[in-house]
Structure 1
Amino acid sequence: MARNLNSRIVRAMIALTLLAFAVVYFGLTAYFFFIYEWLYPNSVDDDFLRTGDVVTLGLLLGIGISTASLLGWVLARRIVDPLKSVAGAARRVAEGDFSARASLRRSNFGEASDLVDDFNQMAERLQRAEAELRYSNSAIAHELRTPLTILRGRLQGLLDGAFIPSAELYGRLIEHVDDLSGIVEELRTLALSNAGQLDLQYSRLDLAVEAGAALTALEDQFGTAGIDTTLSLNSAVTGADRPRLRQAFVAILENCCRYASQSTVHVETGVAGEHVFFRCTDTGPGLADESRARAFERFWRADDSRGRSGGGSGLGLPIVKAIAQAHGGDALILPSREVGLAVEIRLPRREPPVSICE
């Protein structure tokens, strides 16, 4: 491929040079043999093309072809080098080496730079996706193993007569089943979001009302966790999926219950330009700077700063981000110099469509 492209470019440059030479040569010949005689009929020139003229034309032709060949070779190198680099890196990626990256010389043209940059970004995303897939598979197995082991142990104990059947025991078994169902449903939501198939039923709603409803639903949990709340619920009307949005609000607030007990949580809604927002700020232990970038990764927990004793599947914030992005918005951790953590859901301001959207 590279040699073929090189030779084609060189041949094209040579052809252009020969064409230009032919136009000049035959144009001059036509001029001297026809036009010149018509203009000056009495002129006599027995030696129209002398030896020096022929040599000069030959030198010009040789210089033109050599120059075109050199320029064509340089141009071909500048075109082919990034292509060869991308092709080599793509071959390594196809073989399973997602760390492969294409290189670029400083002298390459802009299109080659864009090609290499786009390929490297794609390879980086593939590498992150592959690492996340491996981690997710391991984490899913870990998260499901514990409740399944407990269920099997309790059921085996009931079968062997080691446990006495009681309403309390059955209630615990149902709780473990509910935990499993919750994890499966969360994984399903993330899978639909990644596939772009998360169906949303849009309707006109106010984020302030939905935030208030989510807070009311978690009132007992906040009391148990010793959390005080302060509110600044300003009207923020937009078109969104009410159950999904409330699911995201509840996930953020439950995060506060698990990891920011005995703290103060400030919940705020409002309008900022073309966006509406829901913001939840706690005064808990917060996250280190290096951990903020991983807060939305599946199954990730900041064990050092926010503990695992409160439970949780590690899917809460990833689902929050998936729901926000499905609405055309985003979820992010706000930078803060103070203690605690601030999570914001930002959605575009819009009227709900007439029919069901994606």
Structure 2
Amino acid sequence: MKLVGLSRQIVLSMMAIALGVTLLVILTSYAFYFLWRIYWPEQACEDSWIPTGPEWVWMIGATICGLALAVVVAVNLSRRILVPLNSVADSIRRMAQGDLDARAVAGDRSLGEASQLADDFNALANQLQRVTEEQAFWNAAIAHELRTPVTILRGRLQGLAEGVFMPDESQFRSLLAQVEGLGRLIEDLRVVSLAESGHLHLQVREANLAAEANAVVDMVGDALQARGQRAILELDTQPVRCDPVRMRQALLALLDNVRRYAVPGQVRIQSHAKNGWCELSVEDDGPGVPEDFIPHAFTAFRRAEGARSGGSGLGLAVVAAIARAHGGHAECRKAAGGGTVFTLIWPDLPETGLPGSNRSGRA
């Protein structure tokens, strides 16, 4: 059996103790009888079952030396083992008291298991601290995003109740727009949170992605035209396996992002399937995403420096969540013409091959 780390150290230490005691007994016995024959030759040939006085001294001395050696080795080994274990225990107590910066000291790296325990605890502490910080950030971001529509709704309703505003169609449409915005925000939060917890289930089936994309473009076509943007569709009509409802949701989020932040011009929507992979991309004419923001493009509530406000900051996070639920990923890159290309990539696998698939329904 191959012994590594702490097990190896304990075995080697015990072997060292046994070897040391054995050598001590052998060497001291040679020395003892050598000295006995020199200084007490008249007693050297006497046979007796009862140890003589010098023999008692030798045995007691050898035992004490062996015990002392064992104690020294055991204390040294115990200290090396207990340093990381005590450090982990102390760090656990500090974290229980709310100190998330507590970290354990690995100590002697030759004790593999003990140092690995400290490293694993530190990794867990880092993850816990990251999750706690993200939770605080999400709470603040959600409160910030909800505050504006709720404030507007409250002000409008209070104005209607006090007769400041006339209860006409425009007022009700304004209120309805705010409620729809809240509904989209809640649904986006739901999708992202379900994806993060691994519970975003899909209804995967063979779908015509081109027909789904055309339906979405028809839905938002007027809004794009109002911004001076024109949709150009280059869609593969080959059926692919996906959740068409989620794909429409992802494409709608991408087009809403283009409508809010891209300049007037063409919006190219492309899809194709080859070599077992499906792609759905949206490309605009600019101004393009800053290079330093591209790694954070799909992070919730992150906006590029100088971007116009108005969105929830969750649209692209929803896109990435839907891509991951399909077993794929989302990409962001600069286009050759200076714009930005957002792409969903997922495997064209049977329903049971997708991590988030569910035959019975969606979460």
Deviation of 1:178 (Å): 1.4
**Match for residue 38 of structure 2?**
none
Deviates more, 1:198-207 or 1:246-255: 198-207
1-structure distance, mates of 2:73, 2:277:
54
Deviation of 1:243 (Å): 0.8
Q: What is the CA deviation profile of residues 202-224 of structure 1, one whole-angstrom value per residue up to 9, with x for unaligned ones?
A: 21235454444433433223222
Q: Percent identity between the aligned chains? A: 36
Deviation of 1:150 (Å): 1.8
**Does structure 1 conserve the Cα–Cα contact (< 8 Å) formed by 2:241 and 2:349?**
yes
- Aligned partner letter, 2:247: L
TM superposition score normalised by structure 1: 0.73
**Match for residue 123 of structure 2?**
121
**Does structure 1 conserve the Cα–Cα contact (< 8 Å) formed by 2:240 and 2:273?**
no
1-structure distance, mates of 2:147, 2:255:
27
Deviation of 1:337 (Å): 8.9
Q: What is the CA deviation profile of residues 115-142 of structure 1, one whole-angstrom value per residue up to 9, with x for unaligned ones?
A: 4444333322322222222122222222
Written as runs of structure 1 = structure 2, the 5 A alignment for 1:31-110 is 72-73=74-75, 75-105=77-107, 107-110=109-112
Q: Which one of the candidate residues 260, 275, 278 is aligned to 1:276?
A: 278
1-structure distance, mates of 2:122, 2:238:
40
Deviates more, 1:53-62 or 1:67-76: 53-62
2-structure distance, mates of 1:320, 1:161:
43
Uncovered stretches (5+) of structure 2, i.e. residues with no partner: 1-5, 26-44, 353-357
- Aligned partner letter, 2:308: G
Name the SS of the counterpart of 1:296 in structure 2.
coil
Written as runs of structure 1 = structure 2, the 5 A alignment for 1:220-299 is 220-234=222-236, 238-271=240-273, 275-299=277-301
Deviates more, 1:278-287 or 1:133-142: 278-287
**Match for residue 333 of structure 1?**
332
**Does structure 2 conserve the Cα–Cα contact (< 8 Å) formed by 1:277 and 1:346?**
yes
Name the SS of the counterpart of 2:345 in structure 1.
strand
- Aligned partner letter, 1:125: Q
2-structure distance, mates of 1:355, 1:236:
22
2-structure distance, mates of 1:287, 1:53:
90
TM superposition score normalised by structure 2: 0.72
**Match for residue 307 of structure 1?**
308
Name the SS of the counterpart of 1:268 in structure 2.
strand
Deviation of 1:153 (Å): 1.9
Uncovered stretches (5+) of structure 1, i.e. residues with no partner: 1-5, 26-44
Deviation of 1:266 (Å): 3.7
1-structure distance, mates of 2:227, 2:360:
39
Confirm whether residue 355 of structure 1 aligns to residue 338 of structure 2: no
2-structure distance, mates of 1:274, 1:46:
94
Written as runs of structure 1 = structure 2, the 5 A alignment for 1:199-214 is 199-214=201-216
Name the SS of the counterpart of 2:351 in structure 1.
coil
**Match for residue 199 of structure 2?**
197
2-structure distance, mates of 1:317, 1:123:
29
- Aligned partner letter, 1:130: T
**Does structure 1 conserve the Cα–Cα contact (< 8 Å) formed by 2:217 and 2:231?**
no
Q: 1:14 to 1:131 in 2, by over 3 A?
A: closer
**Does structure 1 conserve the Cα–Cα contact (< 8 Å) formed by 2:289 and 2:334?**
no
**Does structure 1 conserve the Cα–Cα contact (< 8 Å) formed by 2:288 and 2:340?**
yes
